[in-house]
Amino acid sequence: MSRIGSLRRLAVSLAVCALLAGNVSGQSNPELSQAQESLHKVATTETAGALHEEGVPVTDPLVMAKCGSCHARHDKGNMERISWARTTPEGWQNALKRMILVKGVSLTAQEGRLIARYLSTYHGLAPEEGVPVRHIAERRIHEESNIADSDPGKACAKCHALALTLSWRRSLEDWKQFVELHSARYMFSPNAEIVAYLARVAPLHSPEWEAWSARTNLPNLAGRWLVIASMPGHGKYYGEMQVDRAGDDEFTTRANLTSVRDGSRTLRTGRSVVYGDYAWRGRSKGGEPASSAPDDRSSEAREVLWIAPDHSRAEGRWFWGQYQEFGFDVQLQRASSNTTLLAIDRVTFALERNQILGLIGPNGAGKTTLVSLVSGTLQPTEGSVLFEGKPIHRLAGFRRALLGIARTFQVMRPFPGLTVLDNVAVGALFGAAGSTRQLAAAREDANRWLHFVGLDHRARQRADALGGPDRKRLELAKALAMRPKLLLLDEVMAGLNPVEIEEVITVIKKVRDQGISIVVIEHVMKAIQSLSDRLLVLHHGEKIAEGKPEEVLRNDQVIAAYLGSKRR
C-alpha cells in the first residue's frame, strides 16, 4: 500500500490532525470538483519529488501506541500524517483535543501532556520559524496589513490570521490534502496556486529546522535572569527572576519586579515547561491574593516566551483576562558575573565584558540619546537602565562614572586653560577610582593613557591648541583615565583620514583586550564592521536589528533605513 494512496483513503480521519473537525459534505458540487481536479496538477514533473519528502520519524512509544490505529507506522519510523507535519505546542494540543472529541481516543491528562510535549519538541518549529507566528501564542493583536490582494495567503486571512495557518509546516502532499479537506468543509474552491504557496512559505523541511533538529538539547535555563517588563496602565518594571530546574524540561520560577513609576514591588512564582529548547509555556501568580481589579498584577497568568537559541535572552508575554487582554510584556537577559547592561524604553540591549557593540543608524535615529541615557547625561522619563544587575537610571552621571561608566562626546570640549596632561588627569581624579587618588598619582596615570593613545608628545601643550584628530585622541584618553568597565564612544573616528582611522581602530581593540566593554557609535561602515562583535541598528528611536555585523548589514530593513536602496 503506497503512502500517498493510504493518505487519501484515510482523508476523513486525517482531518483530525489537520485541525478540521466534523464530516465532509457528500453533496455534489461541480465547481468544487473542477477545482479539486486542478489540485492534482500540482504533482507535475517539477514537483513530483516533493511528494516523497522524507518524514520526521516518531520514536516515542506512547505516541505510537495512542496514534498508531489511525496513523500507520512505516519501516523508517514514519507515522502517516504525523511525520509530515510540524507545528507549535498550541497546534499539537489542539490536534489532540480534536482527536479525543472526534475520534474518541482515550487519553489520561498525563498522557495528553506527554504526547503534546514530545510532538512539540521533536515535531515542532525551529526558533527562527517560531518568531513570525509568536503573536498567536502570546495572544497579541497583530494586524496583517502587509498581505497583498494578489497574495494567495489572502484566502486564509479572510477567516483568520494567516499566521495561524503558517504555524504549521507540512509536506507538499499534506498541504494538498489540507486544502482539499478545508475547502470541502468551508465550501470554497481550492486551487493549485494556494497549495504551491503554502508548500513554499511553510515547507516541512527548511534550513532552519535541519540545523535546529540536529542540535536540540535539554534546555539549560537554570540561574538568575534580569527582567524588564511593561504593563499597559501601570508603566515599566525591572527586576530579577530565579529559574530552578524541576525536571528535564520543567522549571520553577520566582520573579521580583519593581515599578519604575512608584517603586512598588511585585513577587510572582510559577512553573513552566520548555518545548524544543526554546518555547516557554507556563503559569505564574502573585505572592499576594489577587484583588477584584481585572488588571491586578498578582493575577494568575499564562506565560509564553521565546528563548534565544544561545539561551542568553528571552522575550514574550505573561497574560490573563477573559480575552487575554491584561498582562506584562517581558524581556529577560541571563545575568552573569561580567558587565551586563539593559536599557529600555524603545530599545533593549545587553553587553558583556570584552565585547564591542557597534551602534549605527541614520542621523536622528537616537544613537547619542541612547548613550546619554546610559551615561547619565540625560535622565529617562520612563524605562530603566541596569548596570551589573542593579538599576542606575535614578543615579546622577557622576555617580555612574564612579561605578565605571565613561563616555566621549561628538563635540569635543577640552578644558581650555589646562594642559593636555591635566585634562586627562581630571578624568583620573573623577573616575571609578577617583576618590582614592591624589593629583600626582592622577598625572602619572594620565601620562600612561596619553602614551596609550599616542598623544604623550603633546602632554605639556594647552589642550585648546590641539587640532581635530588630536582632540579626539584626548577625548579617548580622558575617558580611559576614568578606568571604566563600560566605555561609550560617540563618533571618535568622524573626520579622520584612513590612516588615522586605522590607528584609532587599533587603540580601541587594545582597550577591549584589557577587559573593557565598549559601545561605539560610528558612521564609517568599514571601521564599525571591523571593530564590532555585534551591531545594533536604531531608526526613529527604535531598534530595528541586532546581531552579527555580516547578518545585520544584509537585513533588508537596515539597508532601506540606513544604507539606502537594496543592494543587487
CATH of domain 223-334: 2.40.128.120
Cell of 552: 545585520
Enter the C-alpha cell of residue 454.
599616542
Q: Indicate the domain borders of the chain.
A: 3-215, 223-334, 345-563
Give all strands of the β-sheet with 517-521 in edge-to-edge order: 405-407, 486-490, 517-521, 356-360, 534-539, 542-547
Instruction: Give the H or E element holding residue 489.
Output: strand 486-490
The three grid cell numbers given for residue 4, joined into one nine-digit string: 500517498
The pLDDT of residue 339:
54
Q: So what's the pLDDT on residue 433?
A: 63
State the pLDDT at residue 563: 55
User: For 366-385, how does the pLDDT look when each residue is reduced to its tens digit (9 = 90+)?
Assistant: 888 899 999 998 877 667 78
Residue 280 belongs to what H/E stretch?
strand 279-286
- pLDDT per position as a tens digit, 468-489: 888 988 999 999 999 999 999 9
Counting as low any pLDDT under 50, the low residues of the chain are: 1-51, 343-345, 565-568
Residue among 387, 384, 264, 393 at smallest CA distance from 335: 387
pLDDT at 216: 65
Q: Which fold has domain 345-563?
A: Rossmann fold (3.40.50)
